[in-house]
Each structure stands twice: as C-alpha cells, then as structure tokens.
C-alpha cells in the first residue's frame, strides 16, 4: 500500500474508532491475593499494555503513590476527592479478556467498601472516575493515530517534494542538453567553414608551389646559361 492509501485508511479507521468508542463499567468480583473482593471493572477495546501504563500513571496522579506487586496495584490512604473525602485503600488489576482490555479496582473506605447497593453515591462517583479515564484512553489513542497519520503525511509531502525536485532537475538537464546541442551544432557549422577554408588554402598553396617550381626552374636555366657563357669566354 502506498503512503496515500495508508494515510486514507488510517484516517478512516480513526473516524470509525471515534464513532465506535465503548466505555463499559460493571460491578464485578475478583480474587486479589486469594481474597474475593467486589469492585468495578472498566472495559475498553484497546491494547492492554497501553491501558496498563496509562492506568498506572493516572492512578499515581489522581490517588497518590502507587505500589505494584504480583500483578496488583495498591494505593494506601488514597485521596480522590471526586469520590469521597475519606482516605481510600485502592486495589487494582489490569488485564484482557474476550471483550478487550479491562481495569478493575476495589475501594476500601475503612468502614465499608464502595458498593453499588451500600454506597450508591460513592459508587456512582467511582464509576464516573473510571469513565473519565476510559474517555482519556480513547482520546490519547486517537491522538496517537493522528500523530501517526501526520507523520505519514509529512513523509508523503517530503516524497512529493523529492519527485517535484527530480522533475525540475530532469527539465533543467533537458534545457542544458538542448543548449549544449545548439552549441555543438554551431561549432559544427564553424568547423565546416574552417574545413572549407583549409581546403581552399590547400589549393592556393598548391598553385603557389607550382609557381614557385616554375620560378626555380627558370632560375636554374638562367644560371646554366651564365655558366655556359663563362665556359665560352675561356
């Protein structure tokens, strides 16, 4: 696939993703360190490695110092004022299943766990917290894809500039070739004139040689005549 086709496909996939974003939150139990705990689970259709890294950063920023051991993230005395003013003990895991990637957490308020029935206000607030994180995941994913698309666009423009430069270079070479051809043709005309003149010079020279030969012969005859007269004078 060429760059243009890849870019178009990528933009279409981004558009489709924006329309099909799904943030699902459900109440679910999970075994943590051998203990079955009730909590909330966020499900998204994204790469679990990306989800886990984002969740670790998000949890650290929003809740406090996060520890990790045996696949479990834990925050002691977490302060999440959008859920409750009571310090929380947060236990969380990240993984994947048939529906995609998930983030599960359990919130211990000290005297009670955040529960849909027992603490509906805190449960709804915790649900909104997770939903906000889910939306952030999708926004970040779209931004990554847009950045990738822009990178492809930059590469495509660079290739276009290269092709245009190549065309300009070819045209310049053609113009230089035409000019050189004209110069050679002019030089051939000059050479033909010079050759004609040289041939004429050869003919002229031959005539001069003949005249000179005749003059030499006449001078030789004159010398012989003088010698003959000297011989008679003796």
pLDDT in tens, 52-99: 999 999 999 999 999 999 999 999 999 999 999 999 999 999 999 888
Three-state secondary structure call for residue 87: coil
Query: HSE of 197 in the Cβ direction (CA atoms, 13 Å)?
Result: 6
What is the rounded CA–CA span in Å between residue 210 and residue 208? 5
* Distance (Å) of CA 156 to CA 40, 161, 163, 165: 45, 9, 10, 14
The residue among 8 and 31 whose pLDDT is bigger is: 31
Three-state secondary structure call for residue 74: strand
Q: Which secondary-structure segment (H or E) carries 89?
A: strand 88-97
Q: How confident is the model at residue 5, as a pLDDT? A: 60
Mean pLDDT of 163-188: 91
Q: How does residue 13 score in pLDDT terms, banded at 50, 70 and 90?
A: low
CATH number of 22-148: 3.30.310
Q: How does residue 213 score in pLDDT terms, banded at 50, 70 and 90?
A: confident
Integer distance in angstroms from the first to the last C-alpha of the chain? 117
Q: How confident is the model at residue 223, as a pLDDT? A: 78
Name residue, tokens 């966020």: 42
Judged against a pLDDT cut of 70, whether residue 4 lies above it is answered with: no
The residue among 36 and 220 whose pLDDT is bigger is: 36
125-151 pLDDT, tens digit per residue, is 999 999 999 999 999 999 988 888 888
What residue ranges do the domains of the chain occupy?
A: 22-148
Its pTM stands at: 0.64
Q: How many residues are given for the chain?
A: 234
Mean pLDDT of 183-199: 89
Q: What value does the mean pLDDT of the chain take?
A: 87
**Could you give the percent of the chain with pLDDT greater than 90?**
54
What is the rounded CA–CA span in Å between residue 201 and residue 203? 5
21-46 pLDDT, tens digit per residue, is 678 899 999 999 889 999 999 999 99
Burial category of 103 from C-beta neighbours within 10 Å (exposed 0-12, middle 13-18, buried 19 and up):
buried
């Amino acid at each position: 696939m060429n760059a243009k086709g890849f870019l178009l496909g990528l933009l279409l996939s981004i558009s489709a993703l924006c329309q099909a974003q799904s943030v699902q939150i459900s109440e679910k139990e999970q075994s943590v360190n051998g203990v079955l705990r009730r909590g909330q689970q966020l499900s998204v259709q994204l790469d679990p490695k990306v989800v886990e890294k984002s969740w670790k950063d998000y949890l650290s920023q929003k809740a406090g110092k996060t520890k990790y051991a045996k696949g479990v993230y834990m925050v002691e005395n977490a302060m999440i004022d959008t859920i409750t003013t009571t310090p929380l003990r947060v236990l969380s895991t990240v993984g994947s299943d048939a529906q995609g990637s998930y983030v599960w957490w359990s919130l211990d308020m000290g005297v009670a766990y955040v529960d849909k029935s027992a603490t509906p206000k805190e449960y709804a607030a915790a649900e909104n917290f997770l939903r906000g994180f889910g939306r952030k995941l999708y926004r970040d994913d779209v931004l990554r894809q847009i950045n990738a698309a822009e990178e492809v666009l930059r590469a495509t423009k660079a290739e276009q500039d290269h092709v245009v430069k190549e065309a300009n270079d070819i045209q310049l070479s053609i113009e230089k070739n035409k000019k050189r051809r004209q110069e050679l043709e002019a030089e051939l005309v000059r050479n033909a004139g010079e050759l004609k003149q040289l041939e004429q010079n050869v003919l002229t020279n031959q005539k001069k040689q003949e005249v000179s030969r005749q003059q030499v012969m006449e001078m030789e005859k004159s010398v012989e005549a003088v010698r003959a007269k000297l011989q008679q004078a003796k």
